[in-house]
């Protein structure tokens, strides 16, 4: 396994991050345990979850599964860099969502209890909260860090200027601020190249791409269009909207002798700002197969051909839309 620092921190994480969103709704508890154990065997030490995963309001099903896995012992918790998220709706009362100091404190305590741990390595804000001032958010996070319940703060689904605003206010408070951003990023979705990636580089944030395979569209979808998630209506729409591009992409992967999913992950890993794409295996076989991406080095010619198939926005702003 390859490791890198999470942004400007001293903490090292694996170049692939194990996403757990399937644990519970798609992958049963026993199989989820097996996937997490196999991840450790492969040296994957970076696990990502969220308090809303499991999709039963307020229950934190996925966090509970992770907690019962940790409870088996064997050094599982100490081997894992654990990332979870706060923001989503965890109840029906007014202060059971978003980023008020009250909800951050309550949500953190609930996540710690569900996951049977006394600290969270990376506590991520799942979305920007335009109704809560940063002074309040950072005060809550500072208290959690001081109490040893959270080590680092991260963001998810933030615009570039949100990251700037957050970290400038954190700097005024002599607080470390955001150390990572988790964004939608793959060959078919490259908008963050305009402003989010440049600001991550400037402020030393690690970038954690979610949906690196575009919900499976980049995983050999044309050959497996009727299998698994690829048969879902939403994924079919992505496939049809990108069919000519996917045809060219899968042909290029065929020339390379590599699986489309591995090339898609390797493309993300070739970006120096990317810390670790989030892989969401439902089975041991899918997890094992993801490791091949770490061995692929994409030449400049291949990168250029990928750019021609899936053009980005034209570089960072303002050059993407101006001279």
Hey, what are 226's tokens?
A: 């009727």
Q: H helices within the chain, ranges in order?
A: 29-41, 61-70, 76-79, 101-114, 134-146, 160-172, 196-203, 233-241, 243-256, 260-269, 284-290, 300-309
Name which of 169, 177, 171 is nearest 152 in CA terms: 177
Report the catalytic residues.
53
Name which of 207, 193, 209 is nearest 316 in CA terms: 193
**Three-class SS of residue 142?**
helix
Tell the burial category of 92 from Cβ atoms under 10 Å away from its Cβ (0-12, 13-18, 19+).
exposed
User: Do strands 120-125 and 150-156 pair parallel, antiparallel, or not at all (unpaired)?
Assistant: parallel
Assign residue 108 a region (left: φ > 0; alpha: ψ between -120 and 50; beta: otherwise).
alpha
């Amino acid at each position: 396994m390859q490791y890198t620092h999470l942004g400007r921190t001293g903490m090292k994480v694996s170049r692939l991050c194990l996403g757990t969103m399937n644990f519970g709704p798609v992958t049963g508890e026993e199989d989820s345990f097996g996937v997490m154990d196999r991840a450790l065997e492969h040296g994957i030490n970076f696990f990502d979850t969220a308090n809303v995963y499991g999709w039963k309001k307020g229950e934190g099903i996925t966090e509970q599964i992770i907690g019962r896995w940790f409870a088996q012992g064997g050094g599982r918790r100490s081997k894992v860099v654990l990332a979870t998220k706060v923001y989503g709706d965890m109840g029906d009362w007014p202060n059971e969502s978003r980023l008020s100091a009250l909800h951050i404190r309550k949500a953190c305590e609930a996540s710690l209890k569900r996951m049977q741990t006394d600290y969270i390595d990376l506590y991520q804000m799942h979305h920007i909260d335009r109704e809560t001032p940063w002074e309040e958010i950072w005060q809550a996070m500072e208290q959690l860090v001081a109490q040893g319940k959270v080590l680092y703060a991260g963001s998810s689904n933030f615009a570039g200027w949100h990251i700037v605003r957050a970290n400038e206010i954190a700097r005024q408070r002599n607080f470390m601020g955001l150390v990572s951003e988790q964004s939608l990023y793959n060959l078919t979705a490259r908008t963050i190249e305009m402003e989010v990636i440049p600001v991550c580089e400037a402020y030393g944030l690690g970038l954690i791409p979610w949906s690196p395979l575009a919900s499976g569209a980049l995983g050999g979808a044309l050959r497996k269009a009727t299998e698994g998630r690829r048969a879902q209506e939403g994924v079919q729409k992505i496939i049809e909207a990108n069919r000519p591009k996917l045809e060219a992409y899968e042909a290029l992967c065929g020339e390379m002798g590599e699986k489309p999913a591995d090339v898609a992950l390797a493309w993300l890993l070739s970006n120096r700002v990317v810390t670790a794409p989030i892989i969401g295996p439902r089975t041991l076989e899918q997890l094992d197969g993801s490791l091949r991406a770490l061995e692929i080095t994409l030449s400049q010619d291949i990168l250029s051909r990928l750019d021609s198939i899936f053009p980005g926005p034209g570089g960072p702003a303002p050059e993407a839309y101006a001279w």
